[in-house]
Amino acid sequence: MSRALILGAKSAIAQALARRLAEEGWDLVLAARQSGQLEPFAADLRLRTGREVRLWEFEVLEGGQVEGLAARVAGECGPFELGVLVFGYLGVQRRAEVDRAELARILHTNFTGAALVLSELAGYLEGKGGPGGLIGISSVAGDRGRQSNYAYGAAKGGLSLFLQGLRNRLASSPVHVLTVKPGFVDTPMTRGLEGLFLVASPEKVAGDILRAYKKKKDILYTPWFWRYIMYFIKNIPEGIFKRLKL
């Protein structure tokens, strides 16, 4: 029997993924802020799949909740083989330019906090032995700095590099690391934002993630065409790129 720990489990993408994992026989630990709000969702999953679904209180900006996280979850809920880092904070770029607290929240949630959590999970999975995995949800926004969201983009870019390094470190172990770079996804994070295009559903993204994880892919752009969109964007010469209103 396999157990997955999903961090940021109130996210629309996390819930679509949780449904798919439970349907495929995984027990789950759903970690989130105000995790009690997930009880109806967890009850529905238990009823429909017969899997064990536990809730875990988790706020990444509280260091005490991050330190020793993996061992505490394993101690209370049982050993787990898969850690999925989904939480993220888009924030408001224009506010982050003048409000250091907003900038710090964007950077700490998406990068430093995420990196500390990943270190916890990697150490646990490596020490536990046997097959395991880490899935980290980064973003295409991390592929190039743009004026409209460079605080979030820089943090996600840092997260992508951290995941890449972790994958390199764990390559000779049975722990696989998958970096996920979604394009626009229809979730509360993007609702009401202008200028979105080619918006995917959380279910489509969750299906892509699970398929990529099973195939032991290293980096997933989801939907697939974002790989080519970002290839084009990354290759625009800086002298031209800096003048674009992106």
Q: Are 181 and 220 in contact (CB under 8 A)?
A: yes
Interaction residues for ligand NAP, span 50-109 (CB under 6 A): 58-61, 86-89, 109
Residue closer to ligand NAP (CB basis): 128 or 227? 227
Residue closer to ligand NAP (CB basis): 104 or 174? 104
Minimum Å gap between C-beta 149 and ligand NAP is: 10
Q: Is 189 in the site for ligand NAP (CB under 6 A)?
A: yes
Q: Indicate the Cα dihedral angle 205, 134, 159, 72, nearest 10°.
A: 120
Minimum Å gap between C-beta 142 and ligand NAP is: 9
Minimum Å gap between C-beta 128 and ligand NAP is: 24
Minimum Å gap between C-beta 56 and ligand NAP is: 11
Interaction residues for ligand NAP, span 3-42 (CB under 6 A): 8, 10-13, 32-33
**Chain-centre distance of CA 32, in angstroms?**
13
Using DSSP's 3-state secondary structure scheme, residue 57 falls into: strand
Q: Are 175 and 181 in contact (CB under 8 A)?
A: no
The phi and psi torsions of 243 (rounded to 5 degrees) equal -95, -10
Pairing label, strands 53-57, 2-7: unpaired
Residue closer to ligand NAP (CB basis): 133 or 153? 153
Encoding tokens for residue 202?
Answer: 């959380």
Minimum Å gap between C-beta 74 and ligand NAP is: 20
Q: Which residue is nearest to ligand NAP (CB)?
A: 88
State the binding string over 157-186 for ligand NAP (x if CB under 6 A, else -): -------------------------x-xx-
**DSSP 8-state secondary structure symbol assigned to residue 187:** S
- Name the burial class of residue 47, with classes exposed (0-12), middle (13-18) and buried (19+) by CB atoms within 10 angstroms of its CB: exposed
Alpha-carbon distances of 191 from 63, 185, 186, 206, rounded to whole Å: 30, 9, 7, 18
Interaction residues for ligand NAP, span 202-231 (CB under 6 A): none
State the binding string over 112-151 for ligand NAP (x if CB under 6 A, else -): -------------------------x-x------------
Specify the DSSP element, H or E, that contains 113.
helix 113-128
Residues forming contacts to ligand NAP in the complex (CB under 6 A) are: 8, 10-13, 32-33, 58-61, 86-89, 109, 137, 139, 182, 184-185, 187-190
